[in-house]
Structure 1
Amino acid sequence: MNSHLIVTGDFVRTGGMDRANYALADYLSRTDDVVHLIGHRVDPTLEERPNVEFHRVPKVAGSYFLSAPLLNRYGQDWSRRLGAREGLTLVNGGNCLLPAVNWVHYVHAAYTPKRRGSFPRRLLQRWKIRKNERTERNALAMSKLIIVNSERTKTDLIQRLDIPEDRIRLVYYSVDLDAFYPADVGERAATREELQWSSDRKYVLFVGSPSDPRKGFETVLEAWRSLDSKAHDELTLAVFGRFEPKLEQEINAAGLGSSIQFYGLRSDLGRILRASDALVSPTRYEAYGLGVHEALCCGLPAFVSSDAGVAERYPESLSEFLLSNPADAVELTRKLQQWHAVPEANRSEWLGLANTLRSYSWDDASRIILEYSQSLC
């Protein structure tokens, strides 16, 4: 019997990194092996399995950053306790300094968030950014093998952190196949009725916090303002993510309240995607982009930055939906209006891409990671 150890923040079914680690833990827990999970949260379906041992790390003041030293210490302590063994030891980015397999979901050295607020706050943000970059570099330097989620991430590691290419392996993300699939006409109509969506309008989704500059909502809003009157009469921008109430007030004051709606955080995103017409995601940096991947698996047209990792999955026939500059609202406006003019033009290509992506499961991804780790023995 093997013994595996995974160190991450959360083993839950939301988010990109968390969902990926949940999938790997779930795959390993369905074997006869013992699985040790080090993190702050775990999905109850994992914790209740007899061969899973979850070692909860206290979350200091609700902050992942403040809790990082504890997560690192717990991971190192349990690695020493378990000693030499047959099995996978996996960390994520800079979260634990161990000579292990390192699954990189985000490269801190590839993107510097815009610092905001008072001068002391900006200094603190700068210190946190530099600390994350330093810890990331140290963890990757000692890793035995590095798993990346895209060619974009692989290139960032090679060019920005001087990681040798022969230490890197690409394993793409998958999705929950039971939640993300193209809906039939009946399901789509029923969901739209539950959401009180008009049958006369097309709904374009933005998923993420509008206040996070990396997500590109400012570009979306500027582009939306520039749409022609016909588009405003027939399109609704549906925003799903945590937002400040004052933003909705500003939208209403600007006269856009009839074509932009805010829904906050939702747990039924798969159902909402299946009922929607398109998704827009002009991200400033995206190592992969699981939210876009999920939309694609629902057969949804998705406008995404061309340098996002998920853009690698687009066939040439759909390249017109890739945004060359995520800050260029003019480009986004033009592409939205072209799509709005003929929304069903590429329907067969989107369904073909959905079928291709859905042919590869989280179990497939997890099996490949395990095979790569076994090759080190």
Structure 2
Amino acid sequence: MDRANLALADWLARQGGPVRLVAHRVEDSLLRYPNVHFVRVPKPANAYLLGEPLLDAVGRLWAARTLAQGGQVVANGGNCEVAAANWVHYVHAAHAPEPAGSPLRRLKGHVSHRMHLRSEQRALRRARIILANSERTRQDLLAATGVEASRVHVVYLGGDPTRFPSTTPVLRREARASLGWPQDRRVALFVGALGDRRKGFDTLFHAWARLCARREWDVDLCVVGTGAQRESWERAAREQGLGERIRFLGFRDDVPRLMAAADLLVSPTRYESYGLGVHEALCVGIPALVSRSAGVAERFPSSLQGLLLDDPEDSGELVRRLDEWRSRGGDWMPAVAALSSELRAWTWDAMAAAVVARLEA
């Protein structure tokens, strides 16, 4: 279940009023609330393409009932076409995916993208109010739909300061010891799916190969994530003699510990409506190199502009940015600490309250 949706649903449930959740699945923690009614929508053959029409139909049915009873309705993007609020976490019209894998998988990806574009257009044009997770997303929505600017508002994503606390030297040592990492070796982290080119791992791989060709480059890279391209990237790393310099960790449920142990997060993403992984790394207190076009980059102060990539396609620029971090990254740490404190203060509860306040206004 999307983390932001979970946060909103949990906050609403704790307010005591009735909450209806229409979805294929939800977090088990929500089902413990007696005031939460979960409407489970089937997903035939576990396929989203088959389940999405059912989600739209069942969602419209319950939306009409809820609105008639004086309640409020929040849909996500093109999931449900209803004249209510639409909370957008991803704009399909802003990015054309490049699916990897077999011809059938690629065909399915292209067909799915076209379907998402049509449903997104219909749902957003019908929405009474649209909530975006960044100014970047707001501008993408305006360009994609042509709706009135007054209907689209920004509420930034929140975070969990207990799960991603500010790290300390003691926490860092403990995290490294538990992971078996050497205490005196710098480690950069990449967190993202390896199923297509959107997260920019190809740019990072080529930059890392260039850096590791230098004897003085003493930073290792850990890659968290899986996808259709993972095996091919692992093979490429072995073939180029990078097997010890790039470690593929696969899916992990201990990302907070990995971030506490790392020195840097690298995210040369081609499209990111916000960038929760970057947000969480900054909450922990490590610098994050991210594309300037990502929504989360709006949160970076002028003193941290050196951490923003102008062109996620340019591995040479990424090499220069990594070199700069390696040589003067310590100069950025006071600004990183200040931003970390600011982001930790904007919790998931604060975000949920802001969403509801906007809807009620």
TM-score scaled by structure 2?
0.95
Aligned mate of 2:95, from 90, 100, 111: 111
Confirm whether residue 287 of structure 1 aligns to residue 273 of structure 2: yes
1:361 — aligned with what? 347
Q: How does 1:250-261 map to 2 (within 5 A)?
A: 250-261=236-247
Alignment partners' CA distance in 2, 1:82 and 1:207: 39
Aligned pair count?
358
Contact 1:210–1:218 (8 Å) recurs in 2: no
Confirm whether residue 92 of structure 1 aligns to residue 76 of structure 2: yes
Alignment partners' CA distance in 2, 1:121 and 1:190: 42
5+ residue gaps, structure 2, are none
Q: Secondary structure at the match of 1:41?
A: coil
Confirm whether residue 273 of structure 1 aligns to residue 262 of structure 2: no
Change in CA separation of 1:324 and 1:238 when aligned onto 2, cut-off 3 Å: same
Confirm whether residue 151 of structure 1 aligns to residue 135 of structure 2: yes
Q: CA deviation at 1:343?
A: 3.2
* Cα distance per residue 1:211-248 (max 9 Å; x no partner): 3210000000000011152454x211000001534432
Confirm whether residue 166 of structure 1 aligns to residue 166 of structure 2: no
Contact 1:93–1:103 (8 Å) recurs in 2: yes
Alignment partners' CA distance in 1, 2:9 and 2:99: 35
Q: CA deviation at 1:59?
A: 1.9
2:198 — aligned with what? 214
Contact 1:241–1:264 (8 Å) recurs in 2: yes
Q: How does 1:195-214 map to 2 (within 5 A)?
A: 195-214=179-198
Amino acid at match of 1:334: R
Confirm whether residue 58 of structure 1 aligns to residue 42 of structure 2: yes
Amino acid at match of 1:219: T
Q: Secondary structure at the match of 1:226?
A: helix
Alignment partners' CA distance in 1, 2:101 and 2:123: 30
Q: CA deviation at 1:365?
A: 1.1
Q: CA deviation at 1:280?
A: 0.5
2:214 — aligned with what? 229
Amino acid at match of 1:89: V
Change in CA separation of 1:259 and 1:75 when aligned onto 2, cut-off 3 Å: same
Contact 2:66–2:73 (8 Å) recurs in 1: no
Aligned mate of 1:189, from 173, 180, 185: 173
Q: CA deviation at 1:123?
A: 4.7
TM-score scaled by structure 1?
0.91
* Cα distance per residue 1:61-93 (max 9 Å; x no partner): 222232101111111122234451333200000
Contact 1:283–1:304 (8 Å) recurs in 2: yes
2:29 — aligned with what? 45
5+ residue gaps, structure 1, are 1-9, 11-17
Q: CA deviation at 1:116?
A: 5.0
Contact 1:40–1:57 (8 Å) recurs in 2: yes
Q: Is the helix fraction higher in 1 or 2? A: 2
Change in CA separation of 1:139 and 1:200 when aligned onto 2, cut-off 3 Å: same
Aligned mate of 2:308, from 316, 322, 327: 322
Alignment partners' CA distance in 2, 1:120 and 1:258: 34
Change in CA separation of 1:337 and 1:60 when aligned onto 2, cut-off 3 Å: same
Q: Secondary structure at the match of 2:15?
A: coil
Amino acid at match of 2:64: R
Alignment partners' CA distance in 2, 1:305 and 1:82: 40
Alignment partners' CA distance in 1, 2:297 and 2:255: 21
Amino acid at match of 1:176: D
Amino acid at match of 1:283: T
Q: Secondary structure at the match of 1:346?
A: helix
| Deviating more after overlay: 142-151 vs 207-216 | 207-216
Alignment partners' CA distance in 2, 1:83 and 1:109: 29
Alignment partners' CA distance in 1, 2:64 and 2:142: 30
* Cα distance per residue 1:128-153 (max 9 Å; x no partner): 22211111000011101000000001
Alignment partners' CA distance in 2, 1:32 and 1:86: 16
1:340 — aligned with what? 326
Alignment partners' CA distance in 2, 1:338 and 1:208: 23
Alignment partners' CA distance in 2, 1:163 and 1:144: 10
Q: CA deviation at 1:302?
A: 0.6
Q: Secondary structure at the match of 2:190?
A: strand
